[in-house]
Amino acid sequence: MKSVEIKSCNSRFHKNIGKYAVSLTDSCFHCGLCVEICPYCVFDRKDGFNHVSIPNSAGCLGPDCKEGPYYCTAKCPVDAIKIELDPQWKTLGDFRWTPDLIITTWEQAETGEIPKGNLEYKIGASGGGFDVFDFTVDGFAAISSEEIDNIITSDKISTSICLNRRGEGPSIEIPVPWYGAGMSFGSISLPSILARAHSAKVWKTFTSTGEGGYPDELIPYRNHVITQIATGLFGVSEETIKRTPIIEFKYAQGAKPGLGGHLLADKNTPGVAKMRETVPWNSLFSPFPFHSVYSIEDHKKHIDWVKTINPDALISVKVSTPSDVDMVAVGSYYAGANIIHLDGGYGGTGAAPEIAKKNIAMPIEYAITKVHKFLVEEGVREEIVLLASGGIRTAFDIAKSIALGADGAIIGTSELVALGCVRCGNCESGRGCPRGIATTDPELEKQIDPSWGAQRIINLYASWQKQLKLLLYKLGLKDIKELRGRTDFLKHIDEK
């Protein structure tokens, strides 16, 4: 694949947020020593001015800087430098999406590089799931910066996966082991949708329409857009089925299995209602099941129906993770699916009901292994693609999913965080997201420039691919496909 162009893409915020807030007290007499000794550009003196500028707190490592010779508070002759936790940092996120994860995702979206600071960019602080296990690379020798650059730019380590492993139909290969999850027109803004589609085109991967229909603005990206057919059939037509290389049946969502989809009245604007062929300013609810599907035989009829309309499309089946998910997966294989999409309970935006999130579906890390092993035992594992979603936040979450038995992952919230999401959880409140991401308000959505948003997601993907290549090198592997099912590379974080 031709190298993806990474461009610096600054945040929309007035200033970058870091973990620490640095300030100068009134005792500072602007000697400039801090400017000279700080290697992280926290301090600066503008040309033509004698005083030290307001510190750039985002670059500060805080107490970790004590390990080097630069610790500014110890060197300041009048003890004028104050460093404390940034109060904005403390308000971000939650235990799964910690302030560190949010800020480092922004950093990767801005630079396209692996984070180099002291913030945690691999795991959250949930105390469970992917946060409690790691890869067995502790004894690996240190790698120089030059060696790292050679590894992450090398074509000798492959991160590509094939999305069709059956003996018939088109062969579709994507250069990274993930694509974008379904986020519907109505749940997020059109500029956010276009940013995701543009980035998918650049990376030659995919993004899904979600259950809100297929806006005409997506047609230029049609070769990289998945048409989702959900239980409400909102915006689904023969035309939208014909124009896509992959058709996704959404049978259930891991964040709210058994509840179906919902879009509250305030977000059902005239534009959304027109796309969904319904009445504006009314809440829209998708039923839990397809009322035409109550068996694998019915499921096969569904697949046969869309294959009649678009015989060249691959079929993806999105299911949640009940206790018998392994039987569901093998049934979908025999019904003719190309991709089994497991959606675990850790996913979902602020639109998913709190009573359902993380309380109903099986955790994705259990479901992946369960399904992978069962498909192996059935002798069909090499004919089906298994993808995981539901709380996949980082490159290391993707790698852990693959090590547990998946072929790759499907990404949702991380892309929105790249666009500036702070995980406030107000996606369905009133006009939706005040930052223009998860909103249908025509004024609020102006805050997102699709080109800017696309570059942010492009950069995030670039950082993730670099991390995967580096991890594969440390594990002695040359292809991401070699990592599948290698649970021997995983350990609990409490293991020595």
Is 290 contained in some domain?
A: yes
The pairing of beta strand 284-285 with beta strand 262-263: antiparallel
Co-location of 71 and 167 in the same domain: no
Q: Would the pLDDT of 496 be above 80? A: no
Residue corresponding to tokens 């109903």:
360
> 137-190, pLDDT tens digit by residue?
865 656 777 888 888 888 899 999 999 999 898 999 999 999 999 999 988 999
Co-location of 318 and 406 in the same domain: yes
> 441-482, pLDDT tens digit by residue?
889 999 999 999 999 999 999 999 999 999 999 999 999 999
Residue 488 burial by CB count (10 A; 0-12/13-18/19+): exposed, middle or buried?
exposed
Give the pLDDT score at 138: 63
Average pLDDT of the segment spanning 271-300: 86
Give the pLDDT score at 13: 74
Co-location of 77 and 188 in the same domain: no
Q: Could you list the residue range(s) of the whole structural domain that residue 198 is in?
A: 161-492
Nearest alpha-carbon partner for 452 in 4, 5, 2, 8: 8
Domain tally, the chain:
2
Task: Please name the amino acid found at residue 359.
Answer: N
CATH of the domain at 284: 3.20.20.70
Co-location of 81 and 169 in the same domain: no
> 371-429, pLDDT tens digit by residue?
999 999 999 999 999 999 988 999 999 999 999 999 999 999 999 999 999 888 888 77
CATH of the domain at 53: 3.30.70.20
Co-location of 52 and 191 in the same domain: no
Is 149 contained in some domain?
A: no
Phi and psi, residue 439, nearest 5°: -145, 160
Task: Please name the amino acid found at residue 388.
Answer: A
Is 11 contained in some domain?
A: no
Q: How confident is the model at residue 254 (pLDDT cuts 50, 70, 90)?
A: low
Give the pLDDT score at 10: 87
Co-location of 221 and 346 in the same domain: yes
Residues paired with residue 386 on neighbouring β-strands, in sequence order: 340
Q: Which segment of 21-35, 350-364, 478-492 scores lowest on mean pLDDT?
A: 350-364
Q: How confident is the model at residue 17 (pLDDT cuts 50, 70, 90)?
A: confident
Is 278 contained in some domain?
A: yes
The rounded distance, in Å, linking the Cα atoms of 179 and 410 is 5
The count of other CB atoms within 10 Å of the CB of residue 320 is 26
Co-location of 78 and 226 in the same domain: no
Contact 86, 57 (CB under 8 A): yes
Q: Which segment of 194-198, 224-228, 291-295, 351-355 scores lowest on mean pLDDT?
A: 351-355
> 26-74, pLDDT tens digit by residue?
999 999 999 999 988 899 988 767 889 999 998 898 888 877 788 999 9
The rounded distance, in Å, linking the Cα atoms of 317 and 128 is 27
Q: Which residue has the higher pLDDT, 481 or 5?
A: 481
Give the pLDDT score at 264: 82
Contact 96, 449 (CB under 8 A): no
The rounded distance, in Å, linking the Cα atoms of 69 and 72 is 9
Contact 299, 243 (CB under 8 A): no
Is 137 contained in some domain?
A: no
Average pLDDT of the segment spanning 292-302: 90
Q: Which residue has the higher pLDDT, 360 or 305?
A: 305
Average pLDDT of the segment spanning 304-309: 95
Q: Which tokens in the block code for residue 18?
A: 């870091």
Co-location of 336 and 233 in the same domain: yes
Length in residues, the chain? 496
Co-location of 35 and 174 in the same domain: no
Contact 52, 8 (CB under 8 A): no
Co-location of 346 and 479 in the same domain: yes
Q: Would the pLDDT of 354 be above 70? A: no
Is 100 contained in some domain?
A: no
